[in-house]
Amino acid sequence: MYSDLPKVLHPLAGQAMLTRVIEAAEATGADKIHVVTGFQSEMVRNHYQDSPYNDRIHWVEQTEQLGTGHAVSQALPAVDPDNQVLVLYGDVPLLEAETLTKLVAACGDSGIAVLTLDTANPAGLGRIVRNNKGDITEIVEEKDANIEQKAITEINTGIMAFSAAKLKAWLEKTNTNNAQGEYYLTDTVAMACADGLKVSSLTTEDEDSVQGVNNRLQLAELERRLQRKQAEQIASNGTTVLNLDRVEIRGHTTFGKDVVIDINVILEGDNHIGDRVRIGPNTVIKNSRIGSDTCIEAFSHLEDCEIQLACQIGPYARLRPGTVLCDKAKIGNFVETKKTVIGKGSKVNHLSYIGDAQVDEAANVGAGTITCNYDGVNKYKTHIKSNAFIGSNTALVAPVTVGMGATTGAGSVITSDIPDGQLAIGRGKQRNIPNWKRPTKKTD
């Protein structure tokens, strides 16, 4: 990966690859999840230190990297021998729980089942060797395969299910007599056959779901295929996606009816988009709830926001964490908000910064208005009450309250509270200087 970040922590659609594998394992109803780590083990564990998954994972460290069979054997002492074992890989991130559940069921009395794939490009992968009856007799890694075996197109995905007791017995017999000098998990297939057992198999047709990631190119290819699949899914469920190849869902988003998504929209984290919401091009929405009938214009950024019904946002609006827009509120172009509630029907239309503020109903905030909420050490709150009118280029020096129906004159610096219904003007008296000449450019 040419990276300081462990491979399994590289994100795919906003989630670490390993997280996706853990979620797939949980979805099968697994009693316990064992994660075997090796290189950069501490970094992998630290990533989940504050995660809800951490308490549900049994961490195992493989201090020597001696192959897949050796890795699995490190976890087996903590596994009940009466259980079944499903072996997954942290760099195979698109596994489907339904497929895995079927594989576990296929394990049955034989105590072993293999997930296979028939592919046109088997290069570098272990081949499934079958006898004349079609039964699996062994899995041969490419480095150990002969010419005839290399021509086989059915490959081992690496995903296998076992009886825990049988797996332990087989792994105790493995050795490193192979081209890579490692303990192969796949050697268990030949051992099962030697014990007179029929090796069960399940073949998947979804190549992406079993695709491993070994470099950034493969990761990028999976990202594109996953994003396309997600776009197709939401479109099939009733969302209008104007370009299926130019929307990104990096997390989990739910959609109401008749939503329209324009090009280059990014949805990160956990979001909910209500009915009839329109999202303009080049918009980013992260961890936010968007109420029905809201329109978000182009190039807007929303993070950790609550947008209620029928709001108007953008273009070029930035709504930072803690922003709440009440019904029919309007945030216009080049407006930034943070930790602010904009009341029902209130408007902040142009070129303003409103932070640490409470704006009540039906207030109008003029262009260029800022709340001066930070003195370099502490933050302070501004309260603009209902029906207030804030003139253009007003600086509201917090803490300050603008009363109900009060008005500020354009260009004012407001440093104290304004009573209800009053006009406040806080600016220097204008002087016109006659016979004034503009400076001229000096010449050498």
What distance in Å separates the CA atoms of residue 36 and residue 59, rounded to the nearest whole number? 6
Annotated binding site: 7, 62, 67-68, 89-91, 126, 141, 156, 214, 320, 338, 353, 364, 367, 373-374, 392, 410, 427
120: Cβ–Cβ under 8 A, 6 or more apart, which residues? 153
Q: Which amino acid is at 389?
A: F
Contacts with 50 (C-beta within 8 Å, 6 or more apart), sequence order: none
Burial class (CB in 10 A: 0-12, 13-18, 19+), 222: buried
Concatenated DSSP letters of 79-102? S-TTSEEEE--TT-TT--HHHHHH
How buried is residue 225: exposed, middle or buried, by Cβ count under 10 Å (0-12/13-18/19+)? middle
Please tell me the distance from the alpha carbon of residue 413 to that of residue 402, in angstroms, as a whole number. Answer: 12
Out of 58, 272, 350, 383, which one is annotated catalytic?
350
Burial class (CB in 10 A: 0-12, 13-18, 19+), 155: buried
Supply the Cα-derived Rg of the chain in whole angstroms.
31
Active site includes 383? no
24: its two tokens: 């797939």
How far apart (Å, rounded) are the C-alpha atoms in residues 216 and 125?
19
- Please choose, from the candidates 377, 309, 381, 293, the residue with its C-alpha nearest in 3D space to the C-alpha of residue 340: 381
- Give the torsion sign (CA, 150, 100, 210, 59): negative
The Cα 20–Cα 16 span in angstroms is 7
Query: 42 is written with which tokens?
Result: 């501490």
State the catalytic residues: 350
